[in-house]
Structures are given as structure tokens and as C-alpha cells.
Structure 1
Amino acid sequence: MKHYFYLLFLLLGISGFAQKTEKIEIPIDTTVTTEHSVNINGNNIDYTATTGMQPLWNDDREPIASLFYTYYQKKGVKNTENRPLVISFNGGPGSASVWMHIAYTGPRVLKIDDEGFPVQPYGIKENPHSILDVADIVYVNPVNTGYSRPIPDKEGKVDKEKFFGVNADIKYLAEWLNTFVTRKNRWLSPKYLIGESYGTTRVSGLALELQNSQWMYLNGVVLVSPTEIGIKREGPVEVANRLPYFTAAAWYHDALPKELQEKELEDLLPEVENYAINELLPVLVKGGFTETEQKEEIAEKMAFYSGLSEEVILQNNLAVPIRNFWKELLRDENGYTVGRLDSRYLGLDSREAGENPDYNAELTSWLHSFTPAINYYLREKLNFKTDLKYNMFGPVHPWDRSGNNTGADLRQAMAQNPNLDVMIQSGYFDGATTYFNAKYTMWQLDPSGKMKDRLSFKGYQSGHMMYLRSADLKKANEDLREFILTTIPKEGEPAKY
């Protein structure tokens, strides 16, 4: 029988007012397993769901953190050597592993409408598109996210530098994954990392850290709505790269000229991408030395493709701040703002004037539906009982962002491992990590171009969490399923160039 270990941790108030001290039990090393079934693509899949807390140790084998995870494993698989394992992270940094867990790849998803908006009563339903039919999945919550917590030393202190930074995060998670893979007997399994948003920074760095420090080789890395992963794009490139996203968001809100609105989005965007690269970027490079007539011509074309006025574009010297776009696009039409992470969502500010929206309309909508769903699901359906607060967003700041070479690390991991492929998934209406920046990341990832056949991009008519839209939940999982099945080498095929 599994042994259970607990730590009594004093949770102290941090305000200037005296607060009552409360004792909270943090499970250090424990598991709870339940049995379920789900119908995926017409086939019934029986599986186990294991929730637990697994410790992270220091060099003296003392626990310094306890990480919460949820592990789904298909029943009836005699040999796991051919059964892929997908290791899933969300982002933030500081975000729980909740979004992809109960809205994308897992066997249960939250109840929302077909476009991703919250509905009541809240709850969970079967996910008929989950990848559990082809792979087992573990959702990992880094320190201070979900139920994961650091463990103070004997003096009651926590060494935050061990957890809260680009490279610290990668290093300790690689150690934790070594323990997990060993405990679950998954060393022989094909392995995949999937990360969303900042999670793409995390998994890009983990790809090399796992290879070089844990000697654990992967078959694939999936970047969902990727960050810059250390690949710079300041100045004219940053400005030019915004335009295709402006077009997509304006198209969704019917804010483009009729001749553009009549086009399918996937037919329109390549036209705008070509303009941004081959016409807009060279002009932006000249900055203030651009001839007035040429600047006016560019402003006219940018207005044509963005739904903004020429006046606003010229007032910003052709470089409209992206936050200003969220405020400006519908200002004169109905006064609504558009969402940052998903520009299909509308916000309502206290006044129509101003440069930036008052709040992120999409994030408040998501927290509306995700928070009750995950708290109910883990406790009542997966039987994980604790009085710890489930941190949708946990305290992880200040976050050390220095030394972010994760894109270069991912390229190096691919170079060292001929079996490692990368797929990028992005929503066209994502204004935080735009789809065209994701393409730019893919283009810049391997400057030699010798590995471009191992890099692929998939786009969706949705936002940052493209899977919230019902049609894209199906399509994105199909793309992920195909990526997994096609990147497992044939039996006996050597890993070599």
C-alpha cells in the first residue's frame, strides 16, 4: 500500500495586518487512482486517472517541493514500449496545468458553448477528440501552480531561485520528470512534450535539458501559441509581424473592406504575410527617413489590411502599438474593445477614449468557466481531496528571464537527436503570441534550413487557446494525433543522419 507523507506548513499572512495562522497539510508523496471510460472517435477507451503529489529533492535527498500532477493511462496495454507518453505544461509563468488538461487533450473537457464562451451550469463532459486513444498523458503543475508548493527548509525559508526563472524552472522540472518516468516505468515509451504559451519556453529548454542532463530522448515537441523562446524580433520586424494578426482580427469582426471580407481567411492571410515581409518591412527599416509620399501609401495599405484608419496609423509612425489596436479597432463602430489572447472576445470599458483596454475580456471569460470546473473535477471525479487552494495563477514573481536561449536549445536538441520533430499550433486571432510570430519563430529556429522538414505549422480560426472553439478542438487534436503517429520511427529504424 502506498505510504503517505505530509508536511505541516504554516501559511502566514503577508499584509501589514495581523492574521490568524492556519495549518495547511501539503501532501509530499501520495497518489489517488480512479477508473473511467471515454468514447473517442467512436471507440470506447477504458483508462485510469492518477492524481498525486510527487516530491522534488535536493542533493541531500530532502524534499524541497511537492508537485501536483494528473496522469491518464489507457487500460489493457501490456507493453508500454510502443505506447507514447505526452507530458503537458501550461504557461504563465505561474499558470496551472489546467487549460489544456480540461479543454484540449484530456478525456474530459469543461462545458462551454461551441465558440468557447462560458455557460451555466458549470461542469465537465466527455472529450470525444482526446488523444488518449493514441497516447497516455501527464499534466504537470510547476511550483506554486495548481496544488504544487515549495517546501520550506528547517528555518522556514524557501529558496525561490531554485524555481522561479527560465533556467531554474527547466532544470528542476527535468529532475522531477526523471523520477516520474522511472516510477511509472515509461523509459521505453516514445515521449512527447507539449507546452502552451510560456509552456513553449519551458518545453523548448526541457528538450535539451532532458537529453543532456537526464539522458532522456524525445520523439516530438509541440509548441501551442509559442512565445519568442529567446528569438529576438524587435524594431521593424516586430511591427511588420503584427499586420497579419491585425487582418485576422479585423476580418473576424467584419471590419475590413468588402473585397477582403468576401475572401476565406486562409486565402487572405498569405497575401498579407507577403505584403508585410516584402513591402512593409523594407519601408519600416528606413524609419524617419521614409519619404512622406511613400509613408502615406504604406499607411493607406495598412489601413486596408487592418481595419484601422490611415490617420491612426500615421499618428503612430506606421507602428501602431498592439494594445492600441485592441482599443481602436471597434471604437467608432460600437465602442467595444477586443481581447488580447483571443480577439473574438469583446470587452466594455468605462469610456471609449483612451489607448488601452481596461481589462482582458477573454481571460475573465475563461476564468469564469475553468475555475469552478477544475475544482469540481479534481475533487469530486478524480477524488483528490485537499484544503490547499488550487492556484489558477500562482505567486512566482519576480521571474528571472535572463539567459533565455530556449529556441537555440531546441534546435540543438533536434540536431543531436534525428528522431526529434517539432510542430507549432497557433490561433489566427491570438493577439498575445500572434500566429505570424509563431511562423517567424519556426523560420528562425534552424538558420541552416537543414531541419525544416522536421518543423511544421498548423493554424486555426480561434485564439490563444485555439481548442476552445469546438471545430478547432477536433481539428487540433487530429493534427496532434497525426503528429504523434507519424513521428514514431518504424521498428528497427536507426536514429541517424
Structure 2
Amino acid sequence: MLAACGGGGGGTATAPATPTTPTTPEVPGAYADTIAYSGAATASLATPNENAAVIASHIQLGGQQFNYTATTGHLTATDARTGKAAASFFYIAYTVPGADLTRRPLIFFYNGGPGSASAFLHLGSFGPRRLVSTIPSASIAPVQLVDNQETLLAQADLVFVDAIGTGFSQAVAPSANQDFWGVDSDAAAFRDFVQRYIAVNKREASPKFLLGESYGAPRTAVLANLLEIAGVQLAGVVLHSAIMDYNSNCGVLDPGAISCEGYIPTYAATSAYHGRATPAPADFNAFVQQARNFAAGDYRSAIAAYLTNKVAPPASVIAQLVNDTGMPTLTWQQNFDMGPGYYQANAVPGQLLGRYDARVSAPAGSALTVDGDPSLTVINAAFTSSIATYLAGELHYSARSGYVSFNDIVNRWNFSHDGRQLPDTLPDLAAAMALNPKLRVMAVNGYHDLATPFHQTELDLARLGANPLIVLKYYASGHMTYLDDTARRLQQSDLINFVNSVTVAQ
């Protein structure tokens, strides 16, 4: 079941894009990388390089020209124990020349998977250029890059970095890519990259933030703790569509082994979107809150008795599930601890709902369902092709090998952490907050995400207790909340307020 936790643009393996041959004449600062990179498990580089394309660029923001510098290349993560080069991280940094680096915020972005490069966040969310999206439509939009009016570049410098074995990031001999395919080794390498970036760019005094999506969120918890231990103080972390404790998510473990309570409000919200809830809710937020209360109340009591002693659920609980989802009484009687895969295939007769965004649907058996998630199928090819052309055509970085947007390594990943077979990273986040009592946390979720449901995030973070430094934000969107135009605008505003809540207070 771990393969079902791809997240953040993962889920199905994609072939590397064609090599990033320059598509425009060479410009000052361009860089033609002579190294062929590989995402293979045993691959490693003989020696690292820290070369980069450094390009002066601009976009139109609110009708005004906004100037920035794009730096695209590699930095070397050095093993803290041996002092030797361990991995060569590929990154794209957007910075504003002449800014006061002591006050200018710095945000590190990365997707999850494990095995996903950061192309989805990079070209979908808050970078200076963005792919046009038609989500939640089930149509495949024409590929079009536009100036991103929701970029965060006016407020902060942005660094998008790829995990080892993805993009052009690769281990350095004697290490191999697979040596970093685990919870602890991955986070330690990211720590070393962040430290190297800070040192090279003299960003020690800058307010620093981490933003990790999907598996990137548990990576963030472990990474935050490692950075705080290393003396790198963070201003804030953003947990985007988080799966903080794999042991609490019934989409990871078999339904029937643990409660699917965390998914019940997502089922209700999605069924309401598809017109299946009865009666149709007049107030969506009130409807979702009712679903939360029901999940944490009557459903929790009934599912505990069902899982422990196989006690049949009360008729009133089944009736509420039927009303909230529109699924038949018999279906809920036979699938009381309903997992997300079953809901995805059966919530709307004849349709398969998207896993990453359950608002997207396609007729069962149609071309959009061949990979098991129409909400990923409608966008995947555009991101995979666009990152290669964008690197060469606008960032003026070229390589001899194809960019690995997703590497199917989930079943190779070592998920063990802190003595458990599957990671629970809430203690890591708690430890980071204990080391840095000023550390702020923002969790963002889409109401229609069947991979990392919003209520499960709430249940997980509740373990940290009431804390004004922890805020949760929700959007009418899916896993990649930013693909929805309305949600992206709202999320940009929330992120600006979050960053300002730290920097203004300094």
C-alpha cells in the first residue's frame, strides 16, 4: 500500500524528459552542463560540481516589471561526519538583487513522493512562472507558461530543490543514490544542502522557511529538527498536504486495521461537490464542520466497537454516512471502515474520481483512468515536458541527460524511523519547536484530497496540543491546492501573512 502514498506529483513512473538542449542562443550567464545525471539506484558522480546558470530576468507583476535573478545548478551536500562530498543537489533559486539579506525571507521548496522532483511546486505554485491549469476540469489544457501573478518572489527569495535521484540531483561516490532513499538519510542530506546554500549565499541572518508537500511534509519535520540541532534557526515551516504519521492514515495501512475516521469529512465534502449529499448543503463550511463533528463523535465510537469486537454500527451512524455521501446503505454496512480507494471508485456510479483531486472525474475505463488517477493524468505530461523546455529556454541551463521528474522508488524507500517500521514525524516537529520556541507552523490542505485528507492532518497536529504558533488553512481544492486558480490566490495571501507574521515581529 505504500506505493499509494506517492503524493506531490508522484504516483506513476515517468521516463526522464529529453536532454535539456538549449532552445535559444546562448546568453550571458548560461551554463551547458557536460555531466550526464542518473536516477538509477546505484548511480553516483565521480566528483561534484557547483556550477550554475545565473540569468537576469523579469516578469510583469500587476502591470509593472519585476526584476530578479534565476540561479540554476548544483550545490554539494557535505557529510557532517566525514567532511566529504556526499551528494550533488540540483536547485533553482530566484532572488531579488540588492535586497537586504538580513531581512529578506528565504523559502526552500520541495515535493514529496518519495521520488518526486520539485517540478510541480516549481511550475505550479509560487515561482515566477506558472503552467496554466484548468483544474478541476477533466480536460487536458494546452501547455502554456505565464507570468505568475501569485508568485511569492515579491515577498521572499525562493529555492526549489530536488531530492537525490530526481531532477538532476545525484549522490557522489563512494555513496550511491539509494544510500539516501530513506527517511533519515534523505533528511540529513537536505540539512547539508540547506547549510551549504546558506553558507555560499551568505544567508545566515535571513528569516528561513521550509515548505514541503506530501511526503515533503514529514521530511520537513525531520529536517527542521536536524537544522535546529545544527544551529540553523528556522522562522517557520509549511506542511503542504501533509502525511505526518503514516501509522494513522488508513490509506497506507489496510482498511480494517485502523480507523478511516480521518477520511470521513473528505468523503462528505467531495460527495457534496458531486451533488451526492442529501440534502444538498446550503453552507459548505457548516457542512464540513458537521462532518468533522460526526467523524470525531458517533463515527469514532462506532468504528472502535467495530474494529475491536466486530460490533455492527448503529443504524443512525449508517444513515448519516448515507446522507453525507449518497452511497447506499448496503455499501456502508459492508464497507463501514471505507478506505479511499474504494470511495474513489464507487462514490459516483460509473466514474473514477481523482485521488489527488477528487473533484476531477472520468468515466470508468476511459483513457483518463488508465493510471488510476484522472486528476494526475490531466496535468502530468504538461509538467514533465515543460520543466525540460523551461530549464533550457528560459533559465538557460542544459544538461546531457533528461530531467527525472518522478522516480518510482517508493518500494525501495526505507520508511523506518525512530524504531518504527513506518514514520511518525510529529515527535520530530515537537522537538524542533522545543529547540526553537519561536518556530511557526502552517499546515495547508485541500478539502478534496484523497491522498492526505485534511481531517487526518488535524488529528495528527492535535497531538502537539493547542499552540497559537500552529495555524491550519483549507482550500476548495485537492492535494496540489495551487492548481486551482481561486485556491492559489487565497493560499498566496495566507502565505504572505504567515511570512509577515514572522518577519514583521523581528
When the two structures are superposed, what TM-score results if normalisation uses the length of structure 2?
A: 0.84
2:205 equivalent to 1:184: no
What amino acid does structure 2 have at the position aligned with 1:392?
S
Contact in 2 for aligned 1:208/1:409 (Cα 8 Å): yes
Distance 2:117 2:63 in 1: 31
State the shift of 1:435 in Å: 1.0
For residue 116 of structure 1, report the CA deviation from its aligned partner.
6.5
Whole-Å Cα distance in 2 between the matches of residues 281 and 236 of structure 1? 14
2:405 counterpart of 1:392: yes
Partner of 2:442: 423
The Cα shift of 1:150 comes to: 2.0
How far apart in 1 are the matches of 2:137 and 2:346? 24
Name the counterpart of 1:284. Answer: 303
Structure 1 or 2, whichever has the larger Rg, is 1
1:431-446 counterparts in 2 under 5 A? 431-444=450-463, 446=464
| Partner residue in 2 for 1:494 | none
Residue 469 of structure 1: which of 454, 463, 484 is its match? 484
Instruction: Give matches, 1:299-448, under 5 Å.
Output: 299-316=318-335, 318-331=336-349, 335-350=350-365, 359-396=372-409, 397-403=411-417, 404-444=423-463, 446-447=464-465
Q: CA deviation at 1:6?
A: 7.6
Aligned position for 2:500: 485
Structure 2 distance, partners of 1:6, 1:443, is 47
**CA separation of 1:476 and 1:42: change in aligned 2, threshold 3 A:** farther
> Separation in 2 of the partners of 1:29 and 1:323?
44
Question: Residues 38-53 of structure 1: matches in 2 within 5 Å?
Answer: 38-41=59-62, 44-53=65-74
Structure 1 stretch displaced more, 387-396 or 100-109: 387-396
Distance 1:469 1:47 in 2: 26
Relative contact order higher in (CA < 8 Å, ≥ 6 apart): 2
Contact (CA 8 Å) 2:133, 2:484: kept in 1 or not? Answer: no
Inter-partner Cα distance in structure 1 for 2:315 and 2:395: 60
User: C-alpha deviations, 1:41-90, integer Å up to 9, x for none?
Assistant: 5654211110011123345554332111000001231x210000001111
Deviations 1:196-217 (A, max 9, x none): 00000111111110010x2101
Alignment partner of 1:75 is 2:91 = no
* SS of equivalent to 2:413: coil
RMSD of equivalent CA atoms: 2.9
1:226 to 242, 253, 256: 242
Aligned to 2:16: none
Correspondence list, 1:152-167, <5 A: 152-153=173-174, 158=176, 160-161=178-179, 163-167=180-184
Cα distance in 1, alignment partners of residues 265 and 370 from structure 2: 21
Task: Check 1:236–1:405 CA distance in 2 against 1; reply closer, same or farther (3 A cut).
Answer: closer
5+ long unaligned stretches in structure 1: 15-22, 492-497
Instruction: Give the number of equivalent residue pairs.
Output: 462
Q: What is the rounded CA distance, in whole Å, between the counterparts of 2:152 and 2:34 in structure 1?
A: 36
Distance 1:96 1:12 in 2: 11
Q: Does the CA-based 8 Å contact 2:36-2:400 persist in structure 1? A: no
Distance in 1, matches of 2:143 and 2:32, equals 34
CA apart distance, 1:389: 1.4
Q: Which deviates more, 228-237 or 422-431?
A: 228-237
Change (3 A) 1:116 1:392: farther
- Matches of 2:77 and 2:237 in 1, distance apart? 24
Whole-Å Cα distance in 2 between the matches of residues 387 and 24 of structure 1? 14
Give the whole-Å Cα distance in 2 for the aligned partners of 1:116 and 1:53. Answer: 37
Deviations 1:274-308 (A, max 9, x none): 1111111111111175765x533221211111221
Identity between Structure 1 and Structure 2 (%): 26
Give the 5 Å matches for 1:100-249: 100-113=121-134, 115=136, 121-153=142-174, 158=176, 160-161=178-179, 163-212=180-229, 214-229=230-245, 232=248, 238-249=259-270
Partner of 2:88: 66
Q: Relative to structure 1, is the Cα distance of residues 91 and 358 closer, same or farther in structure 2, using a 3 angstrom cutoff?
A: closer
Distance in structure 2 (CA, Å) of the matches to 1:130 and 1:229: 30
* 1:495 matched residue in structure 2: none
Task: Decide whether aligned partners of structure 1 residues 62 and 9 sit closer, same or farther in structure 2, where only a CA change above 3 A counts.
Answer: farther
- Counterpart of 2:471 in structure 1 is 456
What's the CA shift string for 1:11-69, capped at 9, x where partnerless? 7999xxxxxxxx99997321101112223456542111100111233455543321110
Tell me if structure 2 keeps the 8 A contact 1:85–1:190: yes
Q: Secondary structure at the match of 2:50?
A: strand
Q: In the aligned structure 2, how far is the partner of 1:97 from the partner of 1:188?
A: 26
Which amino acid counterpart does residue 373 of structure 2 have in structure 1? N
Gaps of 5+ in 2: 1-27, 251-255, 418-422
After TM superposition, the score normalised by the length of structure 1 is 0.86
In 2, Cα distance between the equivalents of 1:68 and 1:186?
A: 19
Opposite residue 124 of structure 2, the aligned amino acid is A
Q: What CA distance in whole angstroms lies between the structure 1 residues aligned with 2:172 and 2:439?
A: 35
Which residue number corresponds to residue 20 of structure 1? none
Query: Secondary structure of the residue that 2:223 maps to in structure 1?
Result: helix
> Contact 2:54–2:71 at 8 Å: present in 1 too?
yes
Q: Is the 8 A contact 2:447 2:477 kept in 1?
A: yes
Cα distance, 1:412 vs. partner?
1.4
Deviation at 1:151, TM superposition (A): 3.0
Q: Please tell me whether the aligned partners of residues 371 and 377 of structure 2 are also in contact (alpha carbons under 8 angstroms).
A: no
1:73 is matched by which residue type in structure 2? T
**Deviations for 1:89-141, whole angstroms, at most 9, x for unmatched residues?**
11001100111111111111012236476655413101111111110010010
Report the more deviating stretch, 455-464 or 105-114: 105-114
Is the 1:198–1:227 contact (alpha carbons within 8 Å) kept by the matching residues of 2? yes
Q: Which moved more, 1:101-110 or 1:356-365?
A: 356-365
Partner Cα distance (2:39, 2:359) in 1: 41
Sort the Cα spacing of 1:252 and 1:26 in 2 relative to 1 into closer, same or farther, 3 A.
farther
SS at 2:327 equivalent = coil
Q: Measured at CA, do residues 490 and 359 of structure 1 come closer, stay the same or move farther in structure 2, by a change above 3 Å?
A: closer
The alignment partner of 2:462 has SS state of helix
Q: Is the 8 A contact 1:283 1:290 kept in 2?
A: no
